[in-house]
A and B are shown apart, each in its own frame.
Chain A
Amino acid sequence: AQSVTQLDSQVPVFEEAPVELRCNYSSSVSVYLFWYVQYPNQGLQLLLKYLSGSTLVKGINGFEAEFNKSQTSFHLRKPSVHISDTAEYFCAVSDQASGGSYIPTFGRGTSLIVHP
């Protein structure tokens, strides 16, 4: 079974500064990778995904992530954050389960706190 490690439980940053949220996963076999964002009292929303192809993936709200197969990492970055980016961010990795399904395993989340 996959395991996903988000190395920082909380990341404080000032507005307009760059940010990187780190994610490492356990398996080196073919997987699909995702970052989701969760705002208070809401469900999770997909930020970006890596399925194949270019290792640099761009998502919504100016976020991007880089897939590094040798380091089994999928770190999320944004060059300049806004107050509205304050939220919980989840990294997820899916590989094939029974019945042909792909069941994602989620990291514990990183709370991004943007200060004015």
Chain B
Amino acid sequence: KAGVTQTPRYLIKTRGQQVTLSCSPISGHRSVSWYQQTPGQGLQFLFEYFSETQRNKGNFPGRFSGRQFSNSRSEMNVSTLELGDSALYLCASSLLGANTGELFFGEGSRLTVL
């Protein structure tokens, strides 16, 4: 069974630009969560999607948004990039039937904002 796939793995943007990151969950997993990982703040929850609906949202500004498609694939978007948005963005999927918070992570998309 293929794992969680995130694209692109690395990208460089400049301040003010926007970026879209993509995540394909494990087949059969219907919940997708996104986390931002930085050395200073650790892992911070961005949002969680299930059946194309955002079920939970972390404490991030409106510049951070996401969506989920009918095939459970998810994208997140960051608009008007700031230097502080440089981070590893991790996508994770979970099996609804075992709804305990156990997550299966992708390798992440490393965003550098110059």
Q: Write the residues of chain A forming the contact surface with B, with a CB cutoff of 8 angstroms.
A: 32, 34, 36, 41-46, 49, 51, 90, 92, 94, 97-109
Contacts and interface: CB of A to CB of B under 8 A. Distances in A.
A58 to B, nearest CB: 16
Contacts, number: 66
A interface secondary structure, majority: strand
Given A101-B48, A101-B55, A106-B42, A49 B107 contact: no
Contacts of A105: 45
B99 interface: yes
Interface residues of B, number: 24
Contact of B101 (A41, A98, A104, A109): A104
A98 B55 contact: yes
A41 B56 contact: no
A43 B31 contact: no
A44 B105 contact: yes
A32 B55 contact: no
A114 to B, nearest CB: 21
Contacts of B106: 43
Given A103-B45, A103-B48, A109-B42, A97 B56 contact: yes
Contacts of A107: 42
B9 to A, nearest CB: 9
B114 interface: no
